Structure 1
């Protein structure tokens, strides 16, 4: 079969593995009909402390209601690690309060938010947001996005399809319980790449601000 030859895995019923299927949203992105940038919650600057605390409480409550204690601790440990790396969390405002581990780059006057994943506590999935990263330096560079995918795929239990490199492939939240340390290593690499790219950016001598 052509698809198998191209690396698409199938289950015992002859169906493509879920992680390798394209949804209607995926197809719309591929033909150029993407979600408007302004609709993304993590593009907004840091929320107020009160709003962040409220979002964190809703997220953790959903996490504890829907996941095992091992998964809960795995997720929270990764988020604590993210903050230790200088990042912060942004929370969605939908019925299922999602979490976007976010790092700010670009300086005060040209700040932009980057987030590698979106965590959904009730449905138990984690999206790797290549769709949004491809518009955000340094991950607008395809080889760097591919390197991120390869690092995630090296973690047991994660299988991101090559065909979804410009989309938002997902993996189960259970990976945080069994392989939290490996996921932390991927996120540490992500933050390092952002910091390295910022250090290499040229500066405008007149304004002393990084040129974006």
Structure 2
């Protein structure tokens, strides 16, 4: 399962994964900012969500330019086209798209970029 491989990559770098607590099973690779989890992607059974709506209220991603850069990186994956109008929402792609190695690689790179932008 590609999402599991992404989470394994995240953990190998000493980072945490947060499991969801709602009825819909989910998990997210997180970084902590002042003790609060921050994430750029959340994996559900059939979708991969990009929580721009959450990020817009959390530094440093309250900066529109950083959210736009993240969106552009994700959009560089084949078959992914998140419109700019979704920069304050929670757009998603199908989790099956991660089977494509090029999409998988883009998401991993975007997550590494995300983690590097969060103050340690």
Name the TM-score, length of structure 1 as normaliser.
Answer: 0.53
| Match in the other structure for 2:29 | 101
Q: Distance in 2 between matches of 1:96 and 1:167?
A: 19
| Match in the other structure for 1:185 | 109
Structure 1 segment 97-136 matched on structure 2, within 5 A: 97-106=25-34, 111-121=35-45, 124-136=46-58
Q: Helix, strand or coil for the counterpart of 2:30?
A: strand
Q: Distance in 2 between matches of 1:168 and 1:151?
A: 16
Q: Helix, strand or coil for the counterpart of 1:180?
A: helix
Query: Is residue 120–residue 126 contact of structure 1 (8 Å, CA) maintained in 2?
Result: yes
> Any stretches of 5+ residues in structure 2 without a counterpart?
none
| Match in the other structure for 1:204 | none
Name the TM-score, length of structure 2 as normaliser.
Answer: 0.90
| Match in the other structure for 1:147 | 69
Q: Distance in 1 between matches of 2:14 and 2:70?
A: 19
Q: Distance in 2 between matches of 1:161 and 1:188?
A: 22
Greater fraction strand: 2
| Higher relative contact order (CA closer than 8 Å, sequence separation 6+) | 2
Q: Distance in 1 between matches of 2:83 and 2:14?
A: 30
Q: Distance in 1 between matches of 2:26 and 2:4?
A: 13
How much is the aligned-residue C-alpha RMSD, in angstroms?
A: 1.3
Instruction: Mark the structure with the bigger radius of gyration.
Output: 1
Aligned residues: 118
Moved over 4 A (4+): none
Query: Is residue 47–residue 95 contact of structure 2 (8 Å, CA) maintained in 1?
Result: yes
> Any stretches of 5+ residues in structure 1 without a counterpart?
1-71, 200-212
Q: Helix, strand or coil for the counterpart of 1:149?
A: helix
Query: Is residue 73–residue 106 contact of structure 2 (8 Å, CA) maintained in 1?
Result: no
Give 1:119 deviation, angstroms. Answer: 1.0
